[in-house]
C-alpha cells in the first residue's frame, strides 16, 4: 500500500516534470519519451489531428455526452506559434458544426497570446469566441497559475459582457477565489469549477484534503444560488457523490470529467440522469496533459506502464 505522503510527493514530482522547461523543449515526435509512452498517453487524449478527432467525438456524443474540446498547446511568446494555435481553433469550428457536433471549445489564454500581452490574448480570444458564436458553440476560458489569475480575469472581464457564449474556470484551492467569485457571477456566464492542479504555496492555495472539498462545495452552492450554470469538473470519486447530492436545478449543473479518467464513474452518473460532459484533448503536444493526469493519481503510473506493455488495453470509448 502506497502511503499518502509518498503519493503526494509523487504527484508533486510529476507536476514538476510537466512544467520543467528543458523537458518540455526536448519533447517531440522524435523524442524517446514520445515513442515509448504515446500508446499509454492515448488513454487520455483523443487524436493527433482534427481529422482523426471528429469520428471519436461523434462516438462519444452518440452515447449521450456533451463535449469540451481543447487543442493542446503551451504558453508561448512567439506570435507566429500563437497564431497557428488560433488558426487551428478557427479552422475547427465549421467542421464540428457540419459533423453535427456542438462541443464547448476550451483553451488557456497563455496559448492565445497572454505571454505576449493581455491585448493580444483579448483580441485572439474574442476572434475565436465570435466565430464560435456563429455556429452556436460555447467557449470556456481555462485557468492557470496563480500569478496569471489577475490577467486572466481582467481579459475575461472584457470578454464576458460582449459574448454570451463565453465562460470561465475558477480554481477552488486558491484562497482568492472566494473574493473573485462575486464579480465573476455578476457576468451571469457559465462557471467551470475545478480544484486546481498547479503546485502553489500554502499561503496561496489549500492542499488536497477535507478543507478543499468543503471549500469546493461552498463555492458550488454560491454559484447555484446565483442561478448561474456550473460545470463541476473533477475526477475525485469521494467528492462526486457529494456534488450530486446537492440540491440542484438539472439545467444549471453538469458533471465534467477528463477523457480516459474513470469513465465508468461518469457513465454511472449519466445513467442516473445527470448531464455529463467529457473533456477531450487533441494534438501532438500531449506531454503536459499526460503527466498531469498521472499526477492526479500516481497509482495510474502502473496503469500507464501496463498500457505501454500492452497497447491493446486502450480501447477508445469502451467504458463510456
Q: How far, in Å, CA of 76 to CA of 186, rounded?
A: 31
| Backbone conformation region of residue 302, classed left if phi is above 0, alpha if psi is from -120 to 50, else beta | alpha
**Hey, which residues does 276 pair with through a beta bridge?**
255
- Tens of pLDDT, residue by residue over 268-297, are 999 999 999 999 999 876 666 666 666 666
Residue 203 or 46, more confident: 203
Residue 121 or 307, more confident: 121
Indicate yes or no: pTM above 0.95: no
Cβ-defined contacts of 216-222 (< 8 Å, 24+):
216/172, 217/242, 217/243, 217/246, 219/170, 219/172, 219/177, 219/178, 219/181, 219/193, 220/193, 220/246, 221/246, 222/181, 222/185
pLDDT at 71 over 90: yes
Q: How far, in Å, CA of 45 to CA of 261, rounded?
A: 11
pLDDT at 213 over 60: yes
| Domains of the chain, CATH where assigned | 1-41+286-308 (no CATH), 49-284 (3.20.20.220)
Q: How far, in Å, CA of 7 to CA of 298, rounded?
A: 6
The proportion of the chain whose per-residue pLDDT surpasses 70, expressed as a percent, equals 78
Please give the pLDDT value at position 300.
67
Q: How far, in Å, CA of 176 to CA of 30, rounded?
A: 41
Distances (CA, A) of 166 to 77, 127, 258: 24, 12, 20
Amino acid at each position: 500500500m502506497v502511503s499518502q505522503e509518498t503519493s503526494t510527493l509523487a504527484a508533486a514530482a510529476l507536476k514538476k516534470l510537466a512544467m520543467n522547461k528543458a523537458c518540455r523543449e526536448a519533447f517531440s515526435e522524435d523524442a524517446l519519451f514520445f515513442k515509448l509512452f504515446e500508446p499509454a498517453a492515448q488513454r487520455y487524449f483523443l487524436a493527433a489531428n482534427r481529422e482523426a478527432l471528429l469520428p471519436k467525438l461523434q462516438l462519444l456524443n452518440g452515447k449521450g455526452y456533451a463535449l469540451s474540446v481543447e487543442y493542446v498547446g503551451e504558453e508561448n511568446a512567439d506570435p507566429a506559434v500563437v497564431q497557428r494555435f488560433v488558426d487551428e481553433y478557427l479552422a475547427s469550428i465549421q467542421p464540428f458544426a457540419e459533423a453535427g457536433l456542438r462541443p464547448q471549445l476550451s483553451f488557456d489564454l497563455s496559448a492565445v497570446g497572454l505571454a505576449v500581452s493581455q491585448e493580444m490574448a483579448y483580441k485572439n480570444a474574442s476572434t475565436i469566441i465570435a466565430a464560435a458564436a456563429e455556429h452556436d458553440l460555447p467557449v470556456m476560458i481555462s485557468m492557470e497559475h496563480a500569478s496569471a489569475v489577475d490577467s486572466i480575469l481582467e481579459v475575461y472581464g472584457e470578454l464576458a459582457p460582449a459574448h454570451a457564449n463565453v465562460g470561465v474556470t475558477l480554481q477552488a484551492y486558491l484562497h482568492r477565489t472566494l473574493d473573485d467569485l462575486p464579480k465573476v457571477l455578476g457576468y451571469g456566464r457559465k462557471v467551470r469549477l475545478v480544484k486546481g492542479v498547479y503546485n502553489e504555496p500554502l499561503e496561496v492555495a489549500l492542499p488536497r484534503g477535507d478543507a478543499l472539498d468543503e471549500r469546493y462545495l461552498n463555492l458550488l452552492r454560491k454559484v447555484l444560488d446565483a442561478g448561474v450554470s456550473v460545470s463541476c469538473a473533477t475526477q475525485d470519486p469521494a467528492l462526486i457523490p457529494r456534488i450530486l447530492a446537492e440540491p440542484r436545478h438539472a439545467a444549471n449543473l453538469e458533471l465534467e470529467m477528463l477523457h480516459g479518467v474513470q469513465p465508468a464513474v461518469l457513465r454511472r452518473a449519466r445513467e442516473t440522469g445527470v448531464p455529463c460532459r467529457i473533456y477531450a484533448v487533441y494534438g501532438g503536444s500531449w506531454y503536459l496533459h499526460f503527466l498531469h493526469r498521472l499526477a492526479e493519481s500516481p497509482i495510474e503510473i502502473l496503469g500507464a506502464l501496463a498500457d505501454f506493455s500492452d497497447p491493446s488495453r486502450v480501447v477508445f470509448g469502451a467504458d463510456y
